[in-house]
Amino acid sequence: MVLSLEGKVALVTGASQGIGRACAIALGRAGAKVAVAARNEIKLQEVVNEIAGNGGDAKSFVLDVASEESIKSTAKAVIAHFGSVHILVNNAGITRDTLLLRMRRADWDDVINTNLTGAFLLTQAVISSMMKARWGRIINISSVVGEAGQAGQANYAASKAGLIGFTKSLARELASRNVTANAVAPGYIETAMTAVLDEKQRGAMLGQIPLNRPGTDEDIANAVRFLASDEAAYITGHVLDVNGGMYM
Ligand code: NDP
């Protein structure tokens, strides 16, 4: 069964590669019009071309989620082009890993600004569009690390745990407008973000995964597409672990 998102407009951040790219393509395949947003225009255009190649409708928007100005102008541009935003996937994220004692203020600020404050500002910029439509889906990409913690990632874990509290609060605030808010918490997914791990670290990760394989960006995109669909209409304030059993 293909979950139909015909007539819906999705905005995906960090859509130039990895999980965001896979989400944009999956939502496009399900029939949504897709605004693909990130900083790298060339990569965004490739994603747009892929969605168009599948018969979908997509447009790229250059967006820096660490900049309030960029968020506001992009939200306006997306709504001007597509008329509305029904599905928002806050996926853009970065890491600046180091132990607490060595963590610079800038390492903390960069991660919180991009991963958490960016999601807050962009959600705020598009929410009236969802409320007006009396239909909306906010899907925040958190992490297993936001649930379990991780040495060397105090900044990143705080941002991802923050997204979970943010998601649950939105779920309560927006339910009466038929807008749901959920988080997806990926485990160890093979993308550019995790390509920096060496063989030893990779082995240690795999050792913690009962399903005995790393996740793929499509594993995450499948969960996001489900949460965006009408089939997930009664699910809100949920954190969906997509982690092969790594944390339960
Ligand atoms: P990648 O590093 O492959 O992709 C990150 C994406 O975020 C890129 O498209 C990048 O695009 C975008 N991005 C980064 N900074 C900004 C910014 N300031 N403004 C706009 N876009 C930005 O990572 P993944 O695909 O692996 O990660 C996607 C999300 O999933 C992240 O939030 C990550 O924390 C989360 N996650 C990943 C896991 C994994 O194992 N891979 C596990 C758990 C969670 P560009 O450079 O073009 O701006």
Q: What's the confidence (pLDDT) of residue 3?
A: 62
Q: What's the confidence (pLDDT) of residue 131?
A: 98
Asked about 156 being catalytic, the answer comes back as yes
CB 128 within 8 A of CB 86: no
Ligand 1 environment, Cβ below 6 A: 13-14, 16-20, 38-40, 43, 63-66, 91-94, 114, 141, 143, 186, 188-189, 191-194
Give the Cα separation of 144 and 90 in Å (integer): 16
* Mutation to probe ligand 1, out of 94, 144, 155, 213 (largest number of atoms < 8 A from CB): 94
Nearest CA residue ID for atom 8, ligand 1: 14
Best CA proximity match to 82, nearest among 18, 30, 21, 37: 37
What long-range pairs does 119-124 form, CB within 8 A, spacing at least 24?
119/65, 119/90, 119/163, 119/166, 120/166, 121/65, 121/68, 121/71, 121/72, 122/11, 122/13, 122/65, 122/71, 122/74, 122/75, 122/88, 122/90, 123/88, 123/90, 123/170
CB 145 within 8 A of CB 157: yes
pLDDT by residue, tens only, the chain of 248 residues = 456 999 999 999 999 999 999 999 999 999 999 999 999 999 999 999 999 999 999 999 999 999 999 999 999 999 999 999 999 999 999 999 999 999 999 999 999 999 999 999 999 999 999 999 999 999 999 999 999 999 999 999 999 999 999 999 999 999 999 999 999 999 999 999 999 999 999 999 999 999 999 999 999 999 999 999 999 999 999 999 999 999 99
Q: What's the confidence (pLDDT) of residue 241?
A: 98
CATH numbers and ranges of domains, the chain: 9-242 (3.40.50.720)
Is residue 38 classed as helix, strand or coil in its secondary structure? strand
Which residues lie across from 181 on neighbouring strands?
138
Q: What's the confidence (pLDDT) of residue 94?
A: 98
The ligand 1 atom at the shortest distance from the C-alpha of residue 40 is: 47
Chain-centroid distance, C-alpha 245: 20
Q: What's the confidence (pLDDT) of residue 2?
A: 53
Distances 38 to 55, 57, 87, 145, 160 between C-alpha atoms, Å: 22, 17, 16, 23, 19
The ligand 1 atom at the shortest distance from the C-alpha of residue 64 is: 19
Helix then strand then coil, % of the chain, to nearest 5: 50, 15, 35
Residue type, 209: I
Q: What's the confidence (pLDDT) of residue 102?
A: 98
